[in-house]
Amino acid sequence: MADENAPDLASGLRHTVTRLYLTLRRNSPISELSAAQASGLASLVDYGPMRMGEFAERESIRMPTATALIDGLHRGGYVSREPDPDDRRAVIIAATDTGSEIVSDIRTRRDDSVTRALQTLSDDHRAALAAALPALRELQTRMELS
């Protein structure tokens, strides 16, 4: 049986999560990278080296866009490009140490921003957010699979 409140919940979650993300980006901007570059670099840090096609699919972008994005990151020293040992026509892209450090720094700054905001909430609100984390993670997983 479908939950009749699901559309309202979906709308409220979408709006709140989007606004929360945009506020987080504003409170801890990434001056070194565009939002697309930061997302791509974070994917390489999280999922490891991959072929360009996998990268494009993971980032939900077309291959020419992926190539341009990786070219910019490569020029900045944030990613490496190596021939694929299994197919010399393909390349494997990976985050460099510099790229990994940038992602780590960004995550630390954003965690610090969230920590400061959490400290201003009531104990009940912090507990509610902690209790919601497993459900939010499961929602993310299911949305990534669909």
Q: List, in order, residues 6 or more apart from 74 with CB less than 8 Å away.
A: 80, 81
Residue-wise pLDDT for 102-112, tens only, equals 999 999 999 99
pLDDT tens-place string over residues 119-146: 999 999 999 999 999 999 999 999 988 7
Half-sphere exposure of 43 (CA within 13 A, CB side): 21
- Considering only CA atoms, give the Rg of the chain: 18
SS3 77: coil
pLDDT one-digit tens code per residue, 20-39: 999 988 888 788 899 899 99
